Amino acid sequence: MPFSRVDAGYNGGCCQKGTRRKELALHYSTIKYCDIANGEGVRTSLFVSGCRRRCPFCFNEEAWSFTAGNPFDESVEQAIIESLAPTYIDGLSVLGGEPMEPENQKGLVDFLEKVKKTYPSKTIWCYTGDTFEELLGEKKTGETERMLACIDVLVDGPFVESLKDITLRFRGSSNQRVIDLNATRKAGSVILWEDDPLFSSHAL
């Protein structure tokens, strides 16, 4: 996974003068425009920094640090919002690192709500090493419900090398699920996203 920039000068996690500790700002390692590998159609993909999971054979070790890359500031937000405007862009994908780390949820949730409000017909995909059930249970934070409400498709579960399958679309190992959250909300139980039969049957 390419990482174009490392900001060695970031000081967002340092203590401010006095006693108040400043909240660590969300960082990102990469933004891919016109990405066709991380969700349906043509997308903007945001790779946030920070992950405590440390899966063996992680494809993206550089993003374990919460300060890898650059701060996710308003100019970056605006660039992404603008990138989503063309009709041929299907939506936004958020990957990591781990978007569902508690501090990353705090840094992302307002932005995802803004994207959803600006482009209600475009989809938001999110990749997480947590399972959907964990996010509703022991991993739930004060932001998780708002995060999930913005997400159309959740690719969940950790990458497991022994279950790696390169024929799978949009996931690396067979334990991971591509969950249609809109259908799941309606049904009240997990409904998997249905791929186009042309792709899911490898008939191309």
- By rule CB under 6 A, what string of x and - marks binding of each residue 9-38 to ligand SF4? ------------------------------
> Which stretch in 4-12, 78-86, 96-104, 173-181 sits in contact with ligand SF4 by CB under 6 A?
96-104
Compute the distance between CA of residue 110 and CA of residue 90 in angstroms, rounded to an integer.
20
Half-sphere exposure of 175 (CA within 13 A, CB side): 13
Residue 82 carries which side chain, given as an amino acid letter?
E
Closest CA to 172 of 186, 182, 162: 162
What does the angle CA 10 – CA 11 – CA 14 come to, to the nearest 5 degrees?
155
How far apart are CB 173 and ligand SF4 at their closest, in Å?
Answer: 10
Query: Which H/E stretch holds residue 27?
Result: strand 27-35
Q: Is 76 in the site for ligand SF4 (CB under 6 A)?
A: no
Min CB(50)–ligand SF4 separation in Å: 9
The least distance separating ligand SF4 from the CB of residue 158, rounded to whole angstroms, comes to: 5
Site for ligand SF4 in 141-160 (CB under 6 A): 158-159
Q: Is 60 in the site for ligand SF4 (CB under 6 A)?
A: yes
Taking the least distance from each CB to ligand SF4, the nearer of 84 and 132 is 132
Least gap, CB of 180 to ligand SF4 (angstroms):
21
Pair of tokens at residue 12 = 């967002």
Interface with ligand SF4: number of residues (CB under 6 A): 14
Look-up of token digits 């300060």:
67
Return left, alpha or beta for 188; rule: phi > 0 is left, psi -120 to 50 is alpha, else beta: left
Please give the residue ranges that form the binding site for ligand SF4 (CB under 6 A).
51, 53-55, 58-60, 63, 96-98, 129, 158-159
